[in-house]
């Protein structure tokens, strides 16, 4: 398994760091993992602890919330997408600078391959299960008992009851636990702490004007009745040196309310490869900054159609960049922006950049989900897909991604120096392939 990861080229190995860690999970999606993880991070941050938070699986929206809660960048951990060795380096690097590591799981504890449970088992992380107890009494005890009983290779910290109605409800829940499950605490139901959602998940952090107040309210509503687990030792390992194949190249990255689905590790790798990174807004800037390549990540262009279509200077600037033969990488929402037209969920349509001979339309149901990979430059570039839109085009795919089971995945299109796909790439899975996409 490829486990390359950006870091300090040639850095010497440091002594193992000691730091407690918790994998915060749940029986299913929708139980309140993100809010609970954010509340825990802010709770211990108020006590003066340095908290670093990670997100299990390929996710962009939850890390935005968690970054605000902890005050530090949130990296993704996944045994397939990121690789075990790179996960170990990320955890060790964070442990050397923190007093507590929190990892928010994905879906339910045992869902997916690899699952959150697989990640916890790989690193010996104690598991904290968040259980929505809003419509539950004694059955809370059965769920709390069943989760650790399913596998015997996990270290268990205990359970945290979420959306609790008050002290009486909390006491009832606590009393129904057996000796095999420990009560860690509860998060009271709090209207001021809820996180708004939309079709791809939580609303982006930068769009929630009162996010700090919501996180403070969640921390106020949290009651922790158990100490943190003992510290784990995280052996440090230097990241492999990266060839400076992008030295001297300036890469312009779109980042605003319409385009914000970015892995921090992707930007770190570009810098480790020698690239100079600059940022721009397709919504507000009149043209591209001076650059050798453009990266349009995913996001919500369908929610900003009038503004994107009206920014004629930016549309012309991107077309001129393409005519000059300079690379463009467009992922999911970035690809939709480059289509001839995009229709939103309400049926409103706008003409956009038009570099990709295609018409895109938002749908009511999920149209793509899961991890996939593409062979590029003799290497495997991994990523994931998660979208509600569909593309109508006669352009034949340049490449076709593969699912982990070997099935046909998303199309990858190539028009001149433009590469576009529904896939969100994880660049550290192949530095070589990443360099080729940006002309290195």
For residue 89, give the nearest of 37, 13, 1, 10 by alpha carbon.
Answer: 13
Dump pLDDT digits (tens) for 158-200. 999 999 999 999 999 999 998 889 999 999 998 777 898 887 7
Say if 171 falls within a structural domain.
yes
CATH of the domain at 27: 3.40.50.300
Say if 219 falls within a structural domain.
yes
HEC letters along 156-220: EEEEEEEEECCHHHHHHHHHCCCCCCCEEEEEECCHHHCCCEECCEECCHHHCCCHHHHHHHHHH
- Does one domain contain both 47 and 173? yes
For residue 228, give the nearest of 426, 22, 406 by alpha carbon.
Answer: 22
371 vs 291: CA distance, rounded Å: 31
Say if 239 falls within a structural domain.
no
| Domain count across the chain | 2
Say if 12 falls within a structural domain.
no
Average of per-residue pLDDT values in the chain: 94
pTM value surpassing 0.95: no
- Does one domain contain both 221 and 260? no
Contacts of 343 (CB under 8 A, 6+ apart): 349, 359, 360, 361, 362
CATH of the domain at 405: 3.40.50.880
- Does one domain contain both 221 and 347? no
Kindly list the catalytic residues: 332
- Does one domain contain both 414 and 282? yes
- Does one domain contain both 268 and 372? yes
Residue 395 has pLDDT above 70, yes or no: yes
- Does one domain contain both 153 and 264? no
Say if 182 falls within a structural domain.
yes
Of 31-45, 70-84, 228-242, 318-332, minimum mean pLDDT range: 228-242
Instruction: From 184, 207, 234, give the residue that closes a domain.
Output: 234
- Does one domain contain both 113 and 150? yes
Instruction: From 200, 234, 268, give the residue that closes a domain.
Output: 234
Residue-number span of the structural domain to which 306 is assigned: 250-437
CB 372 within 8 A of CB 423: yes
In sequence order, the β-bridge partners of residue 374 are 381
Say if 8 falls within a structural domain.
no
Residue 127 has pLDDT above 60, yes or no: yes
């Amino acid at each position: 398994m490829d486990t390359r990861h950006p870091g300090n080229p040639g850095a010497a190995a440091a002594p193992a760091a000691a730091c407690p860690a918790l994998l915060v999970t749940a029986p299913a999606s929708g139980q309140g993992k993100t809010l609970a993880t954010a509340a825990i991070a802010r709770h211990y941050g108020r006590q003066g602890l340095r908290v670093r938070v990670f997100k299990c699986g390929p996710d962009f929206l939850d890390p935005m919330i968690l970054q605000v809660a902890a005050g530090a960048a949130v990296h993704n951990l996944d045994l397939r997408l990121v690789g075990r060795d790179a996960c170990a380096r990320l955890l060790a690097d964070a442990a050397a600078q923190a007093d507590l590591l929190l990892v928010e799981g994905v879906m339910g504890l045992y869902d997916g391959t690899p699952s959150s449970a697989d990640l916890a088992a790989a690193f010996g992380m104690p598991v904290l299960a968040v259980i929505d107890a809003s419509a539950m009494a004694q059955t809370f005890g059965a769920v709390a008992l069943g989760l650790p009983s399913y596998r015997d290779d996990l270290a268990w910290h205990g359970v945290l009851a979420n959306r609790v109605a008050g002290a009486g409800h909390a006491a009832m829940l606590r009393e129904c636990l057996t000796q095999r499950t420990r009560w860690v605490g509860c998060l009271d139901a709090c209207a001021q702490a809820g996180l708004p959602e939309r079709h791809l998940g939580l609303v982006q952090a930068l769009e929630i004007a009162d996010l700090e107040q919501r996180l403070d309210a969640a921390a106020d509503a949290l009651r922790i009745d158990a100490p943190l687990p003992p510290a784990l030792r995280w052996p440090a390992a230097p990241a492999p040196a990266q060839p400076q194949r992008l030295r001297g190249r300036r890469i312009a990255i779109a980042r605003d309310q319409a385009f914000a689905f970015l892995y921090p590790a992707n930007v770190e790798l570009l810098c480790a490869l020698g690239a100079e990174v600059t940022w721009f807004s397709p919504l507000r800037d009149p043209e591209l900054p001076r650059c050798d390549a453009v990266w349009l990540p995913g996001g919500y262009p369908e929610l900003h159609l009038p503004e994107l279509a009206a920014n004629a200077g930016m549309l012309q600037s991107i077309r001129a960049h393409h005519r000059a033969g300079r690379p463009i990488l467009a992922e999911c929402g970035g690809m939709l922006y480059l289509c001839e037209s995009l229709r939103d969920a309400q049926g409103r349509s706008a003409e956009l950049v038009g570099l990709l001979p295609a018409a895109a339309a938002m749908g009511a149901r999920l149209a793509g989900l899961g991890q996939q990979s593409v062979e590029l430059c003799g290497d495997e570039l991994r990523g994931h897909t998660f979208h509600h839109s569909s593309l109508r085009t006669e352009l034949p795919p340049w490449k076709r991604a593969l699912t982990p089971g070997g099935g046909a995945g998303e199309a990858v299109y190539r028009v001149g120096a433009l590469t576009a796909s529904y896939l969100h790439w994880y660049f550290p899975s192949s530095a070589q392939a990443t360099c080729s996409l940006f002309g290195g």
